[in-house]
């Protein structure tokens, strides 16, 4: 737990980390499936001149081929305050009106960074201006991303999405003829009994009402987002005994866990560091907060006397309720991880320790805990820990999976 503050180095380290993360976030090695198609059909002259001004990420642009109407299940719906417009050959339309407030059998949910639309069979989650989206939990590529825009004329802020591709993945009919966009439910199989119809309606209704008014994005198969923090780094070695440095051990455990998390599409994991750099403690918190992660786990190795022994997990008792998120508290997280870790290390179980003043437990806005695997000052534990990084990483991953299963978030 020894900590040295080296601000400048830390800032440089964080910038490097941020760059690494940006590159990781890009879909470089991902087998991306495209869900985008461009619209080949030209609009009739009468409507092609209509334009619309929208602000997207602080830039105002004019788009053409604006349409003030859309036909949903054969019925004209006015979009005067938030018209459809054409961007890069793709028609973009207000998701909430078309997929949320219509009778297409779809449900809509959004927050400021993502929009989720589901039909009975599919769920697509798109992020603001991002070309990668998630279709039924699998990464896909969208040629024209969803955008959270503000319509200049009406002042309305709306998520607009590429209509044709969204309809396609949701299993809806989409057509564009004579400047009219028509979207409808696919014709049902011939023998649809009344009973079956009723079940279908209930399913959709249930989906929209389980978590209150709107469908919670997390409840519809969204990724479990967490932050793993390898303690210390760079010029701050943390504890140091028998030629071992805590910073390297923490990182080795986190990187071992990363190998498992990388293969599991249920998770989106953010790492405060993946190399020997030193982000400040505040920067680690700001990073996790900015990513709005569901929970935060910091990995450390203890140090005190040669005779000290055992595994313990630190948490902040004063913030248990304040930081509770998605049905999880820091106390639950700490207790659960302590159980898993102590069982894995086989060292003594020292239980939970309340440490309200630790920055990473004080400034993180989500459930957080700090695991101390064992004592580096204890020669037996030091040797054992340095042979067990893969095991610890696997155990960390498995512990999180089992906890999320208990919470019903890992299916
Ligand atoms: Zn430490």
Asked, for residue 131, whether it belongs to a domain, the answer is: yes
Query: Which pLDDT score, from 0 to 100, does residue 104 have?
Result: 92
Q: 155 alpha carbon to ligand 1 midpoint, in Å?
A: 50
Q: Both 160 and 222 in a single domain? A: no
Q: 239 alpha carbon to ligand 1 midpoint, in Å?
A: 6
Asked, for residue 192, whether it belongs to a domain, the answer is: no
Q: 321 alpha carbon to ligand 1 midpoint, in Å?
A: 25
Q: 115 alpha carbon to ligand 1 midpoint, in Å?
A: 39
Last residue of a domain, one of 184, 204, 236: 184
pLDDT category at 113 given cuts 50, 70, 90 is: confident
Query: Which pLDDT score, from 0 to 100, does residue 216 have?
Result: 43
> How many structural domains comprise the chain?
2
Above 80 in pLDDT, residue 388? yes
Q: 67 alpha carbon to ligand 1 midpoint, in Å?
A: 59
Q: 15 alpha carbon to ligand 1 midpoint, in Å?
A: 22
Q: 263 alpha carbon to ligand 1 midpoint, in Å?
A: 28
Helices 246-261 and 389-406 pack at an angle, to 10 degrees, of 50
Asked, for residue 367, whether it belongs to a domain, the answer is: yes
The whole-angstrom separation of Cα 226 and Cα 164 is 33
Per-residue pLDDT of 50-68, as tens digits, reads 899 999 999 999 998 899 9
Lowest-pLDDT choice from 99-103, 205-209, 311-315, 365-369: 205-209
- CATH number of the domain enclosing 294: 3.40.630.40
The mean per-residue pLDDT over the stretch 372-391 comes to 98
Per-residue pLDDT of 185-199, as tens digits, reads 887 655 444 444 444
Query: Which pLDDT score, from 0 to 100, does residue 1 have?
Result: 55
The whole-angstrom separation of Cα 358 and Cα 341 is 20
- CATH number of the domain enclosing 145: 3.30.457.10
Provide, rounded to the nearest whole percent, the portion of the chain with pLDDT above 90.
Answer: 61
Q: 339 alpha carbon to ligand 1 midpoint, in Å?
A: 20
Query: Which pLDDT score, from 0 to 100, does residue 124 have?
Result: 87
Cα distances from 75 to residues 181, 219, 355, in angstroms, run 11, 31, 61
Q: 299 alpha carbon to ligand 1 midpoint, in Å?
A: 8
Q: Both 254 and 386 in a single domain? A: yes
Q: Both 264 and 176 in a single domain? A: no
Q: 233 alpha carbon to ligand 1 midpoint, in Å?
A: 10
Last residue of a domain, one of 184, 206, 227: 184
The mean per-residue pLDDT over the stretch 67-82 comes to 92
Query: Which pLDDT score, from 0 to 100, does residue 189 have?
Result: 57
Q: Both 233 and 135 in a single domain? A: no
The whole-angstrom separation of Cα 391 and Cα 398 is 10
Above 50 in pLDDT, residue 205? no
Q: 128 alpha carbon to ligand 1 midpoint, in Å?
A: 37
pLDDT category at 90 given cuts 50, 70, 90 is: confident
Q: 400 alpha carbon to ligand 1 midpoint, in Å?
A: 21
Q: 2 alpha carbon to ligand 1 midpoint, in Å?
A: 6
Q: 232 alpha carbon to ligand 1 midpoint, in Å?
A: 6
Per-residue pLDDT of 243-271, as tens digits, reads 999 999 999 999 999 999 999 999 999 99
Q: 250 alpha carbon to ligand 1 midpoint, in Å?
A: 8
Q: Both 226 and 180 in a single domain? A: no
Q: 265 alpha carbon to ligand 1 midpoint, in Å?
A: 30
Q: 22 alpha carbon to ligand 1 midpoint, in Å?
A: 27
Q: 326 alpha carbon to ligand 1 midpoint, in Å?
A: 28
Asked, for residue 200, whether it belongs to a domain, the answer is: no
Above 90 in pLDDT, residue 206? no
Per-residue pLDDT of 126-174, as tens digits, reads 899 988 888 877 777 777 899 999 999 999 999 999 998 888 888 899 9
Query: Which pLDDT score, from 0 to 100, does residue 9 have?
Result: 53
Asked, for residue 195, whether it belongs to a domain, the answer is: no
Q: 292 alpha carbon to ligand 1 midpoint, in Å?
A: 24
Query: Which pLDDT score, from 0 to 100, does residue 48 have?
Result: 52
Q: Which of 266, 261, 238, 231 is nearest to 393 (CA)?
A: 261
* Single pTM value for the model: 0.51
Q: 194 alpha carbon to ligand 1 midpoint, in Å?
A: 63
User: What residues make up the domain containing 49?
Assistant: 6-20+28-184
Q: 238 alpha carbon to ligand 1 midpoint, in Å?
A: 5
Above 60 in pLDDT, residue 7? no
3-state secondary structure the chain: CCCCCCHHHHHHHHHHHHHHHHHHHCCCCCCCEECCCCCCCCCCHHHHCCEEEEEECCEEEEEEEEECEEEECCEEEECCCCCEEEECCEEEEEHHHHHHCCCCCCEEEECCCEEEEECCCCEEEEECCCCEEEECCEEEECCCCCEEEEECCCCCEEEEEEHHHHHHHHCEEEEEECCEEEEEECCCCCCCCHHHHHHHHHHHHHHHHCCCCCCCHHHCCCCEEEEEEECCECCECCCEECCEEHHHHHHHHHHHHHHHHCCCCCEEEEECCCCCCCCCHHHHHHHHHHCCCCEEEEEEEECCCCCCCCEEEEECHHHCCCCCECCECHHHHHHHHHHHHHHHHCCCEEEEEECCCCHHHHCCCCCEEEEEEEECCCHHHHHHHCCCHHHHHHHHHHHHHHHHHHCCCCC
């Amino acid at each position: 737990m020894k900590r040295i503050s080296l601000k400048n180095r830390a800032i440089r380290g964080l910038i490097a980390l941020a760059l690494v993360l940006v590159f990781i976030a890009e879909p470089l090695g991902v087998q991306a499936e495209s869900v985008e198609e461009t619209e080949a059909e030209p609009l009739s002259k009468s409507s092609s001149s209509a334009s619309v001004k929208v602000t997207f990420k602080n830039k105002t642009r004019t788009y053409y081929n604006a349409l003030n109407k859309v036909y949903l299940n054969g019925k004209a719906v006015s979009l005067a305050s938030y018209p459809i417009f054409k961007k890069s050959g793709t028609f973009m339309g207000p998701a909430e009106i078309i997929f949320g407030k219509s009778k297409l059998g779809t449900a809509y949910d959004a927050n400021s960074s993502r929009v989720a639309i589901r039909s009975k069979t599919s769920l697509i989650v798109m992020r603001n201006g991002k070309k990668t989206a998630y279709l039924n939990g699998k990464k896909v590529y969208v040629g024209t991303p969803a955008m959270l825009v503000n319509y200049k004329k009406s002042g309305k802020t709306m998520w607009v999405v590429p209509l044709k591709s969204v309809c396609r993945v949701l299993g809806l009919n989409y057509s564009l003829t004579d400047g009219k966009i028509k979207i409808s439910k696919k014709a049902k199989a011939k023998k649809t009994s009344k009973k079956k119809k009723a079940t279908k309606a209930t399913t959709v209704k249930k989906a929209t009402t389980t978590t209150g008014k709107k469908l919670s994005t997390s409840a519809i198969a969204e990724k479990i987002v967490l932050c793993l923090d390898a303690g210390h780094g760079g010029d701050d070695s943390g504890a140091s005994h028998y030629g071992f440095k805590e910073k390297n051990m923490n990182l080795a455990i986190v990187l071992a866990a990363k190998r498992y998390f990388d293969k599991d599409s249920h998770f989106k994991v953010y790492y405060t560091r993946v190399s020997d750099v030193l982000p400040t403690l505040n920067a680690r918190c700001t990073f996790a907060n900015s990513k709005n992660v569901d929970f935060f786990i910091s990995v450390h190795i203890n140090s005190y006397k040669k005779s000290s022994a055992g595994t313990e997990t630190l948490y902040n008792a004063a913030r248990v309720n304040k930081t509770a998120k998605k049905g999880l508290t820091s106390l639950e997280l700490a207790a659960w991880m302590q159980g898993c870790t102590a069982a894995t290390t086989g060292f003594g179980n020292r239980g939970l320790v309340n440490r309200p003043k630790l920055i990473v437990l004080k400034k993180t806005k989500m459930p957080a805990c700090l695991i101390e695997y064992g004592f580096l000052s204890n020669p037996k534990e030091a040797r054992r820990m340095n042979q067990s990084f893969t095991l610890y990483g696997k155990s960390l991953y498995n512990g999180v999976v089992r906890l999320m299963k208990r919470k019903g978030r890992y299916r």
